[in-house]
Amino acid sequence: MAPVTGPSEIRYGVIGTGMMGIEHINNLLHVPGAVITAVADPHQGSLDWAAAVLGEAGASAGVASFTDHRRLIEADVCDAVVVASPNMTHAEVLRDLLPTDLHVLVEKPLCTTVPDCLEVLDAARDREAILWVGLEYRYMPPVARLVRSVRDGDVGTVQMLAIREHRFPFLRKVGDWNRFNRNTGGTLVEKCCHFFDLMNLIVADRPVRVLASGAQDVNHLDERYDGEVPDILDNAFVIVEYAGGARALLDLCMFAEASRHAEELSVVGDLGKVEALLPVKEFVRGRRADGIGAVQVDIVEDPTVAYEGFHHGSSYLEHLDLAEAIRTGSAPAVGVADGLWSVAMGAAAHRSIEEGRPVTLDELLPADLSSPGTA
């Protein structure tokens, strides 16, 4: 598909109109030049939800509705498609989309398993249309500011990176599909691929080894689905070691509603330290040369954000970049390799927990994938 040039409209289809699909619809309704022309979901309640949201915006007229994503593809009414269906469907949906010339944004995780991600990587290798992975945490304004600060050399050489997410349990989804590892890829894939992607982006190096400890200690233990108890982890520590010597730590707790900060990012190098704190939107910078406690604190917001949504405006900013890439024919800012590495790190963490040992990334990935973002 040729680039959509100038101010031309971009016609979007949304596959999966549950919680995240509706989030994307609400964002697209605020993106200049974006027009939603089709939605698809096998669940009528989700289609009704999409119709209600589109109707409220006065945009429902002419929007095609399908119960099968293949019918949406065949209708030929879209330039781009957002895949926001449940995790375990991503591989199947992408198998149908990748042979087309449609631009695609697939929600995280790319797929639930490393083999499926590798299949997608191979299928997309010679594709001209964009395949973008929805790792929108990169676009949260305080996080983007932190990444720029590290790139500008404010901390010097990155030595240590810590990410803490202390939050509420998983929300309910249609059919409660997110209660089981077989559907999600596991908590450290489903939820934490965002954080592993941020680690790779910030450290800008190849992760080589993962050591993790985690369990399901509090959440969902009293739930039953056809007599089966959910098996998703609700807390973990994950250490990631990088080829150049940097180390990263993830501290996840999903029964920590009583927290001032939901997410905390900290990067320390030989010259200083930077932090991003959410939802308070603080960016903190300190230099070792200035002494103990001498830090600068800024509130970071992006005035271009027209819709805040669930993730501090990050999905909106991501869609702006996607639309620009579609119009100019440029490469995706978040590509298939980024999605693959974030899933592989989560899968390695789960294996580490299950087997009680460190796991190297070369146990999961072929030798020719030398570094994140280069496949």
Segment 37-57, tens digit of pLDDT? 999 999 999 999 999 999 965
Q: What is the pLDDT of residues 141-150, one digit of tens each?
A: 999 999 999 9
Residue 320 and residue 325: Cα distance in Å, rounded?
9
- β pairing state of 207-215 and 359-360: antiparallel
pLDDT at position 371 is 65
Query: Confidence class of residue 5 from pLDDT cuts 50, 70 and 90?
Result: very low
Q: Which residues contact 75 (CB under 8 A, 6 or more apart)?
A: 38, 64, 66
Interstrand relation of 10-15 and 80-83 (parallel, antiparallel or unpaired): parallel
Nearest Cα residue to 305 out of 60, 136, 187:
136
What token pair was written down for 183?
């559907």
pLDDT at 7: 44
Residue 220, Ramachandran bin (φ over 0: left; ψ between -120 and 50: alpha; else beta): left
C-alpha closest to that of 149 among 249, 246, 276: 276
pLDDT above 80: residue 373: no
| pLDDT confidence tier of residue 374, bands split at 50, 70 and 90 | low
And the tokens for 339? 């999605």
Give the residue among 107, 104, 73, 71 at the shortest CA–CA distance from 88.
107
CA distance 366 to 362: 6
Going from N- to C-terminal start, the domains of the chain cover 10-136, 138-305+335-363
Q: How confident is the model at residue 172 (pLDDT cuts 50, 70, 90)?
A: confident
Q: How far apart are CA 207 and CA 200, in angstroms?
A: 7
Provide the edge-to-edge strand list for the sheet that holds 80-83: 64-66, 34-40, 10-15, 80-83, 103-107, 131-134
CB 169 within 8 A of CB 220: yes
CATH superfamily of 138-305+335-363: Dihydrodipicolinate Reductase; domain 2 (3.30.360.10)
Average pLDDT, the chain: 94
Taking CA 246 as the corner, what is the angle to CA 241 and CA 247, rounded to the nearest 5 degrees? 50
Q: How far from chain centre, in Å, is Cα 130?
A: 17
**The pLDDT of residue 174:** 87
C-beta separation of 349 from 188 below 8 A: yes
Identify whether the C-beta of residue 126 lies closer than 8 Å to the C-beta of residue 262.
no
Q: How many helices (H) and strands (E) does the chain have?
A: 11, 15
Lowest mean pLDDT among 90-94, 134-138, 222-226: 222-226
- What is d(CA 137, CA 201) in angstroms, rounded to the nearest whole number? 11
pLDDT at 217 over 60: yes
pTM of the model: 0.94
The CATH number of the domain covering residues in 10-136: 3.40.50.720
CA–CA separation, 278 and 165 (whole Å): 10
In contact, 270 and 159? CB cutoff 8 Å:
yes
Q: How far apart are CA 254 and CA 233, in angstroms?
A: 9
H/E element holding 186?
none
Cα dist from 41 to 68, 71, 228, 314, whole Å: 6, 11, 26, 24
Q: E strand or H helix at 28, and its extent?
A: helix 19-28
- pLDDT at res. 367: 84
End-to-end CA distance of the chain: 22
Residue 289: both structure tokens together: 């040369």
Domains 10-136 and 138-305+335-363 share a fold: no
Query: Sign (positive/negative) of CA torsion 47, 105, 279, 302?
Result: negative
The average pLDDT across 234-249 equals: 98
pLDDT at position 114 over 70 = yes
What single DSSP character describes residue 359? E
The mean per-residue pLDDT over the stretch 348-356 comes to 98
Helices 336-355, 114-123: axis angle to 10 degrees equals 160
